[in-house]
Amino acid sequence: MKYFLLLMAAGLLFISCADDKKNKETKTDSSKPKTTSNSKIKILNDIELESNGVNVLQAFLLYDDGTLVPKTNETGVGKPVKMRLVIDNGWKEQDGKVSIGASEKIETSDGGVVLDEKDLFAALPTINAEDAKFITLTANISRLDKLYDYFLVSFRVWDKNGTGQITGSYKLYIK
């Protein structure tokens, strides 16, 4: 049986915007939150993250019930994992609204592409800037055709009205 991956864009997404600073973060140690010169920034779960023109305050993984995914990034078949981005500012606002796109690609450890979504938020032309402080993307591995070492989840979130964007990736392990 072929493996299937359900990806749901669960978003009460996005952000208030203001400034256009460049902000680059990279997470390398999953045992502690990643911090930069701004000690408020926390990145967990070995999420590799680069942000340009958008100020990301937090990035982490959680389950549907709100509990954090352990630093091992383990999940089970049929157990959704949400990646949450908490944004401070950076999206271009027009009349109190922002317009964001998000893509996600999920690959197996042997390079097979399971999912490649170009714009998860295509049906949402705009969002209130006040409601746009959180971006949540949900991945759910619902079936396997064989065991894989991991699944690589790559994502990109971008401003459809400006130049801000966030790119990154993380690995999920099926236990």
Give the pairing type, strands 127-128 and 100-108: unpaired
Cα–Cα distance between 172 and 175 in angstroms, integer?
10
54-64 per-position pLDDT tens digit: 999 999 999 99
What pLDDT band is residue 1 in, cutting at 50, 70 and 90? very low
77-133 per-position pLDDT tens digit: 999 999 999 999 989 999 999 999 999 999 999 999 999 999 999 998 898 887 778
- The model carries a pTM of 0.78
Residue from 93, 107, 95, 87 nearest 155 by CA: 107
Q: What domains sit in the chain, N to C, each tagged with a CATH number?
A: 4-174 (2.60.40.3880)
